[in-house]
Structure formats: structure tokens, C-alpha cells
């Protein structure tokens, strides 16, 4: 890949470690119908889509889960939703800072205010701010009102930053997001299961 002028990174599963099964198991333990409340890397129920594009707020989301759960504790429900969030490896942050010295970086994540608040709490405000500021701009789905694999999420980054798709690389661990980016000409790197972003060779296009 030549003439690369920017890299777009996914967050969860690429930079920040997550485990969907943790939340799936917790949802089952608090009595949420596993057919109605599906949240996985490949597919999720509409209520999660709505949360991630900011169409419903955090309070209404949690109340919906509470209403359909055997648990009447909002804190337990929030914990079930957050327990997929693991950690932010320091070596990945160091890698990003090294790359940032050579090429603009952008972050595009399907996420929500509950998860972002939890990440801040887990890693601390100072470390979160330091991480956030690595990127030229951060695009969170609940803020831009668009989520992958909607191609408009990618187009927004290209248009706002005067970038041509052919000059951009997008790195993600969900194949549906990779395929969507490809349809508009963005170069892609699919991070396969159990593959760490640290294993990628960035020198060849920097």
C-alpha cells in the first residue's frame, strides 16, 4: 500500500481489549432473553444499535433492560453491560504514539456513553485524555449518530479531513465493517481473531 496519508483505527478489540462473552453471560444471569437481547461481534439487537447512534439515552436503555430483567438493580444491569470492557495495553498506546509522529490517526468506534464513562473510570481520567489526544480526531458512533458498517460513518471522516479513500487504511476486527469500508475504496486490514495489532508491520506504508 502506497501513498497512505491516514489510518483509521477501531477501538474495541483492536486497541482496547474486550470480551463480548462476559456481557452475554451476565445478561443470561440477570434473566435477559438471549433471543431478544443479542449483543455480539457479528450481530446485535436493535436496542443496542439505537444506543450506539444516540437515538436513546443511557437512562432509557438501562430502564429497558431492567424492565425485562429478573434484576431490579440498575447498578447490576450496568455492570453486566460494562463487564465486556477489559483493559488498554500500554504497548498499544506506545505504538500509536510512534505512528502518530509519521501519519495522522483517527479513531472510529461503535460505542456509547456508558462504555466511554466506564473506560475513563477503569484507566483514569489522565490516561484516557492522553490516549484520546493521540488521534487527530475521534469519531464515536453515539456522537456522530452513525455506526459501522454504515458507509456514511467512513465518508464523514474522509470529507471532514479532506482525505481520498485510496489514501486511507482502516483497521478493524469485524469483517462486516471491513467489507463496508472496502465498498468505498478504503484500504483495509482485518485483524483476525487472536491477532494483536502489535503484530502488524506499519513500516511498509509509513
Kind of pairing between the strands at 187-190 and 168-172: parallel
CB 108 within 8 A of CB 148: yes
First vs last Cα of the chain: how many Å apart? 9
The total of other beta-carbon atoms located within 10 Å of residue 195's CB is 13
Query: Could you report the per-residue pLDDT of 24-40, keeping only the tens digit for each?
Result: 999 999 999 877 887 77
CB 8 within 8 A of CB 108: yes
Exposed, middle or buried: residue 183 (CB in 10 Å: 0-12, 13-18, 19+)? Answer: exposed
- Mean pLDDT, all residues of the chain: 95
Largest CA distance in the chain: 55
Q: What is the mean pLDDT of each run of 10 residues along the chain (206 residues)?
A: 91 97 94 82 87 97 95 94 97 97 97 98 97 98 97 98 98 97 98 94 84
Distance CA 105, CA 101 (A): 10
Structural domains in the chain, CATH included, are 6-17+87-205 (3.40.50.1000), 20-82 (1.10.150)
Specify the pLDDT at position 40. Answer: 72
Specify the pLDDT at position 1. Answer: 65
Query: Could you report the per-residue pLDDT of 35-73, keeping only the tens digit for each?
Result: 788 777 777 899 999 999 999 999 999 999 999 999 989
Q: How many helices (H) and strands (E) does the chain have?
A: 10, 5
Model pTM greater than 0.75? yes
168 strand-pairing partners: 6
Give the containing element (helix H, strand E) for 125: helix 125-132
| Strand runs labelled E in 74-167 | 105-109, 137-140
User: DSSP state, 169?
Assistant: E
Amino acid at each position: 500500500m502506497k501513498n497512505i496519508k491516514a489510518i483509521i483505527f477501531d477501538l474495541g478489540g483492536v486497541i482496547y481489549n474486550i470480551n463480548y462473552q462476559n456481557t452475554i453471560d451476565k445478561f443470561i444471569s440477570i434473566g435477559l432473553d438471549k433471543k431478544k437481547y443479542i449483543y455480539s461481534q457479528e450481530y446485535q439487537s436493535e436496542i443496542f444499535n439505537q444506543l450506539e447512534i444516540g437515538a436513546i439515552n443511557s437512562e432509557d436503555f438501562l430502564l429497558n433492560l431492567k424492565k425485562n430483567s429478573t434484576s431490579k438493580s440498575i447498578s447490576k444491569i450496568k455492570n453486566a453491560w460494562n463487564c465486556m470492557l477489559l483493559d488498554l495495553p500500554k504497548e498499544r498506546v506506545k505504538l500509536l504514539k510512534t505512528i502518530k509522529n509519521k501519519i495522522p490517526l483517527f479513531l472510529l468506534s461503535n460505542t456509547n456513553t456508558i462504555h466511554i464513562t466506564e473506560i475513563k473510570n477503569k484507566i483514569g481520567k489522565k490516561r484516557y485524555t492522553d490516549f484520546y489526544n493521540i488521534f487527530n480526531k475521534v469519531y464515536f458512533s453515539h456522537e456522530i449518530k452513525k455506526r459501522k458498517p454504515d458507509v456514511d460513518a467512513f465518508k464523514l471522516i474522509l470529507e471532514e479531513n479532506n482525505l481520498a479513500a485510496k489514501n486511507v487504511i482502516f483497521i478493524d476486527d469485524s469483517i462486516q465493517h471491513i467489507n463496508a469500508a472496502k465498498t468505498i475504496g478504503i484500504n483495509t486490514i482485518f485483524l483476525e481473531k487472536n491477532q494483536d495489532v502489535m503484530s502488524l508491520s506499519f513500516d511498509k506504508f509509513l
